[in-house]
A and B are shown apart, each in its own frame.
Chain A
Amino acid sequence: MNARNKKIRSGALAAFFVAMLLGTLSMPAFGQNPRLDIKNLEALSKKASEVVDVNLDGSLLKLASKFMTDEDDREALGIIKNLKGVYVKSFTFEKPDDYSPADVEAIRSQLQAPAWSRIVSARSKHEGENAEIYLMTAPDGGSVLGMAIICAEPTELTVVNIVGPVDINKLSQLEGKMGIPRLGEQTDESPQKPEGHRAKP
């Protein structure tokens, strides 16, 4: 009887530890942050001829949005007023081979499923331009928590991190503003199915 009880107890204990381990492993997925650690790219600063950092936090965006009264600004205003922050890091290089795709891995490694999903990958073979758009959605897939854009050109690399709810269909309204590059100039756009959570339309 005692031996059987011991077996049951040790089995339950093992199951408990396995459950705990699985729980711990799944934590990073839910603990992923819509705010990327762009400082990971600091190593590139030494190779770049120009480095630009833009930090627009929620209070600045709110302040600026109060005065977006023009008709043309209406759509952009609808997006900006709900954002928590827009962060841009841009590097310009002297020569095309001054940075490698591996340098961008510091950012890509943060954009992992299930929270993040790549929704657009656009590539221009002629110009050597490459743009990727990633979306972070809530675990229920209902709301967008953030967006990341990696725009790589032969002599320029720009990483944009938008924190807060943003509608991918209205992203064009922000292009060319707040340091966000114009993605419309890219060609061969190929929207992809989100690999992680799927945002509700």
Chain B
Amino acid sequence: MRNHRPLLAPAILSVALLQTLPTGARAGDSEFHSLVERMSDYYQKGPVRHMGWLNFFANPFTAGGVSHFQMAIFDDVDASRTHAGEDLESSLASLVGPPYQPFVSVHDARSGEWTCIYTRESGNERTEMLIISIDSSDAVLMQMQLKPEAMRKWVEDPLERSRDARRGAQDAQRGQP
């Protein structure tokens, strides 16, 4: 009879590790990557590398009703391409796809920043949120899942929350490796 014990320990460890990862994150990964690819095609350049590690570590944690957080940063993008279209929002909407509904958009003409926030229902009374923040040189794409209590805060004060999101995107741009 063959001894299976040496294989058993790594197998148990692997299963235990997989259990710690939220299932939604695994399912949503491919979709987020496809969005990143569409953004890459739009800007004709890839996102900043090594962001995957940040996403990996941020994913299992749920802070303030937010989970399954994923982010991609595109730096030194072609600004003329961003502002080429008369209606950036409609370009972004077609990039994002129909399941997402526009929720909040903020355009600051002084800084040239656009923040467009889209939402869609993701089951279990959770909302999936997609934030695209674009300025003259960078673009940040963030995706996350919000528990109802977190979504309620957004509904109550969408302007302040979107300003927070913009600040978060700016911090992410500054803190990138």
Contacts and interface: CB of A to CB of B under 8 A. Distances in A.
Given A49-B108, A66-B125, A67-B148, A55 B155 contact: no
Interface residues of B, number: 25
A195 B158 CA distance: 33
B33 to A, nearest CB: 26
B45 interface: no
A5 B146 CA distance: 75
A57 B103 CA distance: 8
B149 to A, nearest CB: 5
Contacts of A64: 148, 151-152, 154-156
A192 B106 CA distance: 34
Interface string B69-98: 000000000000000000000000000000
B104 interface: yes
Nearest to B105: A53
Contact of B159 (A45, A57, A60, A179): A179
A50 B107 contact: yes
Interface in A4-56: 45, 48-56
Interface in A53-72: 53-57, 59-61, 63-64, 66-68
B121 A59 contact: yes
Q: How large is the interface on A (under 10, 10 to 19, 20 to 34, 35 or more residues)?
A: 20 to 34
Q: Is the interface of B mostly helix, strand, loop or mixed?
A: mixed
Interface in B122-146: 125, 127
Contacts of B151: 60, 63-64
B143 to A, nearest CB: 17
Contact of A49 (B101, B105, B110, B159): B110
24 contacts: A49-B108, A49-B110, A51-B106, A52-B105, A52-B159, A54-B103, A54-B158, A55-B103, A56-B103, A57-B101, A60-B127, A63-B121, A63-B125, A63-B148, A64-B151, A64-B152, A64-B154, A64-B155, A66-B125, A67-B148, A68-B152, A177-B157, A179-B157, A179-B159
Closest 6 CB pairs of A and B: A64-B155, A64-B152, A53-B105, A51-B107, A67-B148, A67-B152
Interface of B: 101-110, 119, 121, 125, 127, 148-149, 151-152, 154-159, 162
